[in-house]
Structure 1
C-alpha cells in the first residue's frame, strides 16, 4: 500500500480553456462546412482532454521507492526533502533551477518539493516535483527514508 500517492491532474480552468478549440474550429471551417467545424471542434477538444488526462504524472511513495512519472529512485538515495510554496517555488522553478535537475513539474501545480540525490554516481543533483500537497509529500519522503549505516531508526 502506498505511503503517498497523488496524480497531477490539470486544474478545471485548463479543461475550460481548451473548450476554445470548439469555436476556433467552427470559425476556421464554417466557410467550408458548419457541421465539419462542429465535429472537428468536438473531436479536438476530446483529444486534448484525453492527452491531458493520460499524461498526468503519478507521484507515489511505496516500498521504499519514490516514483515520479516514469522515473523511480530508492528513498535510501535521497536526502532531506523540502517543500516550496509561492515565491520560493517560483525561484525553484525559475532562477534557482539547476539545469541538471530531474523535473516532474506542471505549470498548473505551483508548489514543488526539492529532493536532493545523495548518490555520488548520479549526475542529477536533485529532483524537483510538483505537488498540490507539498508539505505532505516532503514529510512522506523524509519519514519513509531508510536509515543509513550507523544512523538509528528511532
Structure 2
C-alpha cells in the first residue's frame, strides 16, 4: 500500500492556514437577550390578535389565527435578541471587541469607562456625538464607553450596551474609569 502522507511543508502550511482561520479563544461573550417577562407578554398580544380574528370566523377556521400567530412573537423576540458582544483574542495575541459585524482592536482604544444605567440617558442624549458608533438596547441598563485613538477613523468613540461592562473592559485588558 503506498504511503499517503503529505510533505512536511504542506502540513505546516495547512496547519498555519487552519490556525489563522479557526475561531480563537473568547475571554468574554454575551448575547443581548430580551427580558424573560417579554415572552408571556408577546404571546398574550398574539393571542389577543388571534382572538379578534377568531370572533369573525366560524368552525375550523376559528382556530387558524391561533396557529398562525403562535410563531410570530417567537420570531420577533428572537430577532430582537440576535445581537452578540464578544471579546476575542486574535492569533497575534491581541484582544478585539466584536459587536455583531463590527470589530474593534484594543490597540485603537485610548481609554474606556463603564456607563451606569443612571447616566445612560445623558450619554445617549445631548452629549452624544453623531459620529459615534452606538449599539444600544433599551432593555439593558449599563453601557461601555470606548474612546478611540485612531487618526484614520472619524469615529470618536463606541458606546455599546452590555449587562457587565466591567467584565468587558477587563477582558479587553482596559482599566475602567467609570
How does the TM-score come out when normalised to structure 2?
0.72
Q: Of 76, 82, 85, which aligns to 1:48? A: 76
Q: Report which of the two structures shows the higher radius of gyration computed on alpha carbons.
A: 2
Which sections of structure 2, spanning at least 5 residues, go unmatched? 1-24, 90-94
How does the TM-score come out when normalised to structure 1?
0.82
- What residue in structure 2 maps to residue 19 of structure 1? 43
Where do residues 51-130 of structure 1 align in structure 2 (5 Å cutoff)?
A: 51-53=79-81, 55=82, 57-63=83-89, 64-130=95-161
CA RMSD of aligned residues (A): 1.9
- 1:74-133 deviations in Å (ceiling 9; x for gaps): 110112110011221221122322111111111111100010111011111111111111
Residues 62 and 46 of structure 1: is their aligned pair in 2 closer, same or farther, counting only changes over 3 Å?
A: closer
Instruction: Give the C-alpha shift of residue 73 in structure 1.
Output: 1.4
For 2:40 and 2:112, locate their aligned partners in 1 and report how far apart those are by CA, in whole Å.
34
Which sections of structure 1, spanning at least 5 residues, go unmatched? 145-154
Secondary structure in structure 2 of the residue aligned to 1:109: coil
- What residue in structure 1 maps to residue 31 of structure 2? 7
Preserved CA contact (<8 Å) 1:78 1:117: yes
Preserved CA contact (<8 Å) 1:25 1:40: no
